[in-house]
Structure 1
Amino acid sequence: MKRFAVCCALILSIGTTCLPANARVRHKRHKPKPLKVQVATLLKDPAVSRAHWGIYVTRMDGKPIYAMNEAQLFQPASNNKMFTTATALALLGPETTYETKIVGQGVFDGHAKLRGNVVLVGAGDANLSGRTLPYVEPVDRPNPAPPAPDPLRYLAQMADQVAATGLKVVNGDIVGDDTLFPWEPYAEDWTIDDAVWGYGAPVSALTINDNQIKVTVTPGASVGAQATFSLLPAISYYKIVSDIQTVGANGPTSIFYERLPGSKDLRIYGTIALNASPDVEEIAIDDPAEYAAVALKAMLDARGIEVTGRARAEHRLPTDTQGLLAVSSQPVADLTQRAAAAAANPAEKLLASHTSPPLEENLVVTNKVSQNLHAELFLHHLGIAVLGDGSTASGARVVRAFLTGRVGIDPDDFIFFDGSGLSGHDLVTPRAAAKLLQYATTQPWFADWKRSLPIGGEDGTLAERFPKLPIKDHLFAKTGTLGEARALSGYLECASGKTVIFSVMVDNHTPRTHADRDTMDKIVAAIAETN
């Protein structure tokens, strides 16, 4: 036994001290194929080879690492939000807030009676809703989740303030006033299909619950029975015609929603399986200012305030005749904010108010979950703040001036018709996205802005992508999906420990497939592996 131990010790001694250094076992990281080779191989796949691809990778200082079609134009989809939110954070500032007011306009008889209108004045607050702010990372959210707050809670709080003034009778209307912005509910080339759904909700300075209604369809009690539905908020606004049949267990669940533009008639039809979970959809509100007025009128009534008139909206129609391209291409001499000019109304009395969360909190939500409406509100606020005009064209003009004048992006490298990327007219080059990402790293607001980007495998629109190391938690990027276009741009921590900037865009991929997304994710993995 002792002899065996001595032999083992001798072998160990030889293994560690007697072998030449070059004979020792070494663990080397596998040397990957060059990025150019890997990308070429990936794009040969017949499932993606006919699509139009653009890729640009740089160091953090902007020095190019890899480029393919980087100067060609692509639909950015929600990559557009990067440009809008960066401009908003830089020009409006992280602490900016907006105050929604309820005022009485007319003649008061003491505190109890008003001969005139109660006006809910929209200030472009994106978060008059049940959303919890600041944004909470998924890992920090309570499990199980607590009940969601009332989506009309802030409107209810303001109704309480009105009741506390002693007002009892309103001989007039309840008005939803969104005249801060011109009434341009949809930007150019938003599709008619999108207008039904919450993600395509109309833009209004008086935004309520993201300008959408949650519709929940539940199977009937037996096969052949009509399914039931419920609305949240439960406000009578749409006339709903429902014809949803309950079919056998494991049968097809296929539910359709139809509403013509400008119509209050919402048709829901199809089938739902007897054992199916409730089907939940977000449906856009046709006129958010009118909807808010309807909701406020019901709340005042519930608080014992008699309203003799009706609930209605007050809009300001656009008057510009030049068109977006002509307006947005005009230079902006000064990108600093203008002083707000408040129009004083001597017959106006403040009854209630609500102040929004700071801009930076809304910005995180906007980029994390890719909230289209909120990005559009940023665009309109930029027009108001810099040019004194909250139109889509003025907002686009400010964004263009910022991107070309301060960021230094080539004016021919982009054109934006909106703030969210829903417009099919939006175009951008991968090198423009990379240029913005590089510029942001040099700015005092960079940490706040980067914090708003989805994290691979963790949260937002990247929660289900890149679920494993080495990319999980090492990718900070904005997604984009629109029709047959997809984009992903951001910051990537690579195998070497260095961080690179990248933008990958694809147009004209095969409809209703995910092959392009899978290939895009493999390209990102190749970038991480080779840098």
Structure 2
Amino acid sequence: MMRTLLFWISVTVISARAAGQTTPPAGTPAATRGAKAATKTATTGAATPAATKTAPAAAAAKTAPTAGGATAKPAQAPAKPSPLGARLAQALKALRADPQMTHAIYGFYIKDSATGKAIWDENSQTGLAPASCQKVIVSTASLELLGEDFQYQTRIGYDGSIQNGVLRGNLYIIASGDPSLGSWRYAGSRPEEVMEAIHSILQASGITRIEGNLLLDDHTFPLQPVPRGWVWEDLGNYYGAGAQGLNWHENQYDLDLEPGDRVGDSVRIVAQRPALEGDTLLNELTTGPKGSGDQSNIYWAPLTKLGYVNGSIPADGKNITIAGSIPDPGRLFINALAENLKTWNIALDGSVQNSLDYTRAHRAFPVFATVMGSLPSPSLDSLVYWFLKKSINLYGEALARTLALQKTGTAATDTGVSVIRDFWIKRGVERTAFHIQDGSGLSPQNRVTAFGLVQVLEYARKRPWFRAFYDALPVIDGMTMKSGSIGGARAYAGYVGGKDGRKYTFAFIINNYDGNGTEIQHKMWKILDELK
């Protein structure tokens, strides 16, 4: 009997303590902290706000003696959730019941930007594939570690000597990994402007003839341009362009395509811009039904000379343009420069070669002696603007390698990823919150927590470069946020101001949803709209 009484006393005390817990269960608004555990829905097991659960009156009034003879206080009535918390709970309940979410998982974290108080916390510590929301992590670390005024420098140099306008030696282009060289987005970086800048440097040195070779030193970055974990079907498309020692035209070319009149007809390649001279693209495209959309895909491994494009484009009676990744941008650049030398009446007696030519021949690349000039990139804040605004994967991969080079002297992606992770660990992000493989978020192997993303966004608020970062974030559905999308994954992370005047920082990631990505996107927007 005594053992039974002690057991009853022990259980009652534990229950009373549990009723006053300070850590909320997953999926509860912050207003329910200290309340009873949330109920769970029968459909998914996801938590609902604690304020929706009520206890029988008799149980609420019941008290029990403690081991010391005193009586334990009755469990406190659950705190009523805020209006925002109640709206979010209702919206998320509908999302969990949606057929697209039957086997999906999501992480959602919202913070009051002024008070630091958590407004919603559900699976926020679960690592999920963030897609391009990972660019938030990389861009902020880059702004802090490199500085918003950082610039790449592509140098023009030579060995030997210049005598009476004749370069008795080799002319060098020394690449720096600049992802913007030849980009159409910036004044001064467009292909024709880059070539004219080189022309001006050669004119200033008085060179009219080169007795040696035209050499591209593009081994600033390792030869393998693609990070671990990238998918084969991505590599030939513009978003699958890896970062090379010399990047040109954002490593992107365009294909103008003309569909046939009937389903099954061949598709004609009207133009390739810029033309990949000496390379072969096999065309296996066919015409699809009207309204079927662009179902084409380009397959092309880096640094190879043969690729192919297959799939279909719709028979809608109009041409469309798709974009691919340039397999060897350094070669394309140096060949274009050689052609420009002819236009400028500068004779080249030797050949055109790059670092890969020397590697294949098992020869050491020669070392230049003198720098004649350099081609600076736009400042980092400008690069980050387009990196985030247009979600350019190439920029993220170049930044990861640049961070590695600047901090360790080795420009490997794995090293750059370690630099980024270490940076955030030192600033309070839990060590295992970021398992990242690349600088862009394209790898499906990346895992990031919603909680960690919000930590990054909150850190950025306090930095002197915040305005540059904030202005670079896209405005989507009336909210300033970065989006992310790869197969089966959608994510958003950013800032929003509510009608009540409060400002919120949030991250929302869904993985393994079923069906159409656009549909799940709009369902996420509907939930985020509750913050406005």
Normalising by the smaller structure, the TM-score range is 0.7 to 0.9
Deviates more, 1:176-185 or 1:197-206: 176-185
| Gaps in structure 2 of 5+ consecutive residues | 1-82, 360-365
Other-structure match for 1:88: 142
- Bigger RCO (CA 8 Å, 6+ sep): 1
Q: Distance in 2 between matches of 1:48 and 1:37?
A: 16
The whole-number CA distance in structure 2 between the counterparts of 1:95 and 1:32 is: 42
Q: Does 1:348 align with 2:369?
A: yes
Shift of 1:402: 1.2
The answer to whether 1:126 aligns with 2:130 is no
Match of 1:48 among 66, 89, 101: 101
CA deviation profile, 1:461-496 (whole Å, cap 9, x unmatched):
xxxxx2xxxxx2xx1111111111111011111121
Partner of 2:167: 114
CA contact (8 A) 1:128 1:209 kept: yes
| Residue 214 in structure 1 maps to residue 250 in structure 2 | no
Q: Distance in 1 between matches of 2:386 and 2:298?
A: 27
Q: CA deviation at 1:39?
A: 0.9
Corresponding residue of 1:455: 475
Aligned residue-pair number = 442
Task: Report the counterpart of residue 117 of structure 2 in structure 1.
Answer: 63
Cα offset, 1:411, TM superposition = 0.5
Q: Secondary structure at the residue paired with 1:476?
A: strand
> Secondary structure in 2 aligned to 1:421?
coil
Give matches, 1:100-499, under 5 Å: 100-105=154-159, 107-108=160-161, 110-133=163-186, 151-163=191-203, 165-218=205-258, 227-242=268-283, 255-260=296-301, 262-268=303-309, 276-314=317-355, 348-406=369-427, 408-456=428-476, 466=477, 472=478, 475-499=479-503
Instruction: Say which SS state the counterpart of residue 291 (structure 1) adopts.
Output: helix
Report the CA distance between 1:436 and its aligned residue. 1.0
| C-alpha contact (below 8 Å) 1:163/1:305 kept by paired residues | no
Cα distance, 1:190 vs. partner? 0.7
Question: Unaligned 5+ residue runs, structure 1?
Answer: 1-29, 135-147, 319-343, 457-465, 467-471
Q: Are 2:235 and 2:301, in contact at CA under 8 Å, matched by a contact in 1?
A: no
1:437–1:248 distance in 2 versus 1, CA, 3 Å: closer
| TM-aligned CA distance change 1:272 to 1:108, over 3 Å | same
- Structure 2 residue identity aligned to 1:83: I
In 2 relative to 1, CA 167–384 (structure 1 residues): closer, same or farther, beyond 3 Å? same
Structure index of larger Rg: 2
Q: CA deviation at 1:442?
A: 1.9
Contact 2:112 2:505 in 1 (8 A): yes
SS at 1:412 equivalent: coil
Give CA-to-partner distance per residue, 1:281-309, whole Å, 9 cap, x none: 21111122222212211221222223344
Give the RMSD, CA atoms, in angstroms: 3.2
> How many angstroms does 1:315 deviate by?
5.4
Q: Residue deviations 1:386-438, cap 9 Å, x none?
A: 223222122112211210102x1111111111111112221111100111111
* Residues 75-125 of structure 1: CA deviation (Å, up to 9, x unaligned): 1111111011101111111111122122223x3351433344322111222
Letter matched to residue 257 of structure 2: V
2-side partners of 1:258 and 1:313: how far apart? 24
- In terms of mean alpha carbon deviation, does 430-439 or 213-222 score higher? 213-222
Identity %: 26
Q: Normalised by the size of structure 2, how large is the TM-score?
A: 0.75
Task: Give the superposition deviation at 1:255.
Answer: 4.8
CA contact (8 A) 1:57 1:503 kept: yes
Q: Tell me the alpha carbon deviations over residues 174-208 of structure 1, each in whole angstroms, 9 at most, x when there is no partner.
A: 22222222223011101111110111112113111
Report if the CA contact (8 A) 1:215-1:282 is conserved: yes
Residues 397 and 498 (structure 1 numbering): CA distance in 2 closer, same or farther, change over 3 Å? same
**TM-score calculated relative to the size of structure 1:** 0.75
